[in-house]
Amino acid sequence: MREGEQSPGVNFTPEQRLRIAIELDEFGVEFIEVGHPAVSQDVMEGIKLITSQGLKANLLAHSRALRRDIDLVLNTNVNWIGVFFCLSNACLQKRFNITLEQALDRIENAILYAKDHGLKVRFTPEDATRTEWENLERALSLAKELKVDRVSIADTTGSAHPLYFYELVRRVVSFGIPTNVHCHNDLGLALANAIMGIEAGATLVDATINGIGERVGIVDLAQISTILYYHYGIKHYKLEKLYELSQIIQEITGSRVQRNYPIVGENAFIHKAGLHVSAVIKDPRFYEFLPAEIFGRERVIYLDKYAGRDSIRFYLEKMGIRDEGIAEKLLSIVKNSQEVFTPERLLEEARKMGGVE
């Protein structure tokens, strides 16, 4: 949720933040990153609304490695804090003007302060994929020494190659700290990198509904949860809620997903070509990797010049019409038109032919 709200043009009200959290909890996510309390008072109010609900998911608030940020997190009643700090030489020299040793001291003080106040800690070395390994190794060794509960490897600029990301995550996992991956989509590789992170041993993937987030966003929740179901046998998420979740975020943000967006796009379970339709009517598995019903969707047969006889019959049978002569005439009309025919238009044409009383 925190990443999603960083999408340009998106600002959740406290009530919207609560609604999204409840929906995500019902879907079955393990963690909800509820926001960064230091951003504004309404973010703080929204987080407090969420923590008052007794949700099953772990609730995590975002924080800089600053005591004043951590104090704000403590005031929200979340059980997790996500502390982040960039450790690349470029960041240390040009952004913070400090040494690596000074940065590690700040990180240590922040983690100890959070833990001393009862919070579980996730540490994120920001821009990890472009950080010198020597710096990252020092930070991970410190995290292990301080008994950090999780680390998150962030491809902050979305520029990592999946093979490189696999090797990086594999090295991080070797420290024995449960590992998240946070993959941005600037090169369209967020999902590929997330999968490679899983293969390398990561046990949690950051995702947002509709993939929204800073710039072009991060991993899409519908896609990664479906991949976990289909390829990894992880079946506790309520996939039938995915379309509803997508619609809620589209409503709140005013930003529509593309029609051809996987899983939740309007075209995801539309079948057009006549040969495809003929096969799908016999068994959807011929052209659907999973049936539409698993996602709470309906299968749609599209009617235009690509339609075949079975496309026409599919709708006529729903209307109680089994006249092959009418089916042939309707097929001819559809195939010789540049229009898309709705079931209602098909029924209208059938009435003209006397096929419906």
Tell me: is residue 117 an annotated ligand-binding position: no
Tell me: is residue 179 an annotated ligand-binding position: no
- Mark whether 276 is an active-site residue: yes
Amino acid present at 196 = M
Catalytic-role residue among 36, 117, 271, 276: 276
Amino acid present at 197 = G
The secondary structure element, H or E, covering residue 22 is helix 14-27
Tell me: is residue 36 an annotated ligand-binding position: no
Take residue 200 and report the two structure tokens written for it: 């390398």
Q: Rounded to an integer, what distance in angstroms lies between the CA atom of residue 177 and that of residue 202?
A: 10
Q: Which of 294, 299, 340 is nearest to 318 (CA)?
A: 299
Query: What radius of gyration do the chain's Cα atoms show?
Result: 25
At residue 29, φ and ψ (nearest 5 deg) are -65, 150
Take residue 43 and report the two structure tokens written for it: 């973010």
Tell me: is residue 67 an annotated ligand-binding position: no
Tell me: is residue 156 an annotated ligand-binding position: yes
Neighbours of 51 (CB within 10 A): 17
Neighbours of 41 (CB within 10 A): 9
Contact partners, residue 194, CB within 8 Å, separation at least 6: 181, 183, 205, 207, 219, 224
Contact 181, 207 (CB under 8 A): no
Active site members? 276
Binding residues for 2-oxoglutarate, as ranges, are 2, 62, 122, 156
Binding residues for Mg(2+), as ranges, are 3, 182, 184
